[in-house]
Amino acid sequence: MTSYRITLLALLMLIAGAAYMIIDRGQAAASDDRMAIELTAEERNIILTEMRGFLDSIQKIVQGLAANDMNAVAKAAERSGMAATHDIPGSLMRKLPMGFKELGGPTHKQFDGLAREATELGDVQITTEKLGVLMQNCVACHASYRLVVR
Ligand code: HEC
State the Cα–Cα distance between residues 15 and 54, nearest whole angstrom: 46
Residues 108-119 have a mean pLDDT of 98
Higher pLDDT, 133 or 17: 133
Over residues 117-130, the pLDDT tens digits come to 999 999 999 999 99
- The pLDDT tens digits for 7-65 are 666 656 655 655 555 445 544 444 689 999 999 999 999 999 999 999 999 999 999 99
Give the model's pLDDT for residue 87.
Answer: 85
Which has more pLDDT, 95 or 31?
Answer: 95
Q: Is the pLDDT of residue 101 over 60?
A: yes
**Ligand 1, atom 28: nearest CA belongs to which residue?**
51
Number of C-beta neighbours around residue 113 at 10 A: 17
pLDDT at 76 over 80: yes
Q: Where are the beta strands (DSSP E) in the chain?
A: 35-39, 145-149
Distance 48 CA to ligand 1 centre (A): 7
List the domain boundaries for the chain: 1-33, 34-149
In this prediction the pTM is 0.84
pLDDT-derived band at 88, boundaries 50, 70, 90: very high
Share of the chain above pLDDT 90, in %: 77
Q: Mean pLDDT across the chain, nearest whole number? A: 89
Ligand 1 proximity of 132 Cβ (cutoff 6 Å)? no
Query: How far, in Å, CA of 30 to CA of 46, rounded?
Result: 28
How many helices (H) and strands (E) are present in the chain, helices listed first? 6, 2
d(CA 2, CA 53): 61
When pLDDT is averaged across residues 70-98 and rounded to a whole number, the result is 96
Minimal-distance CA residue to ligand 1 atom 37 = 138
Residue 32 confidence (pLDDT): 86
Which residue, by CA, sits nearest to atom 1 of ligand 1?
104
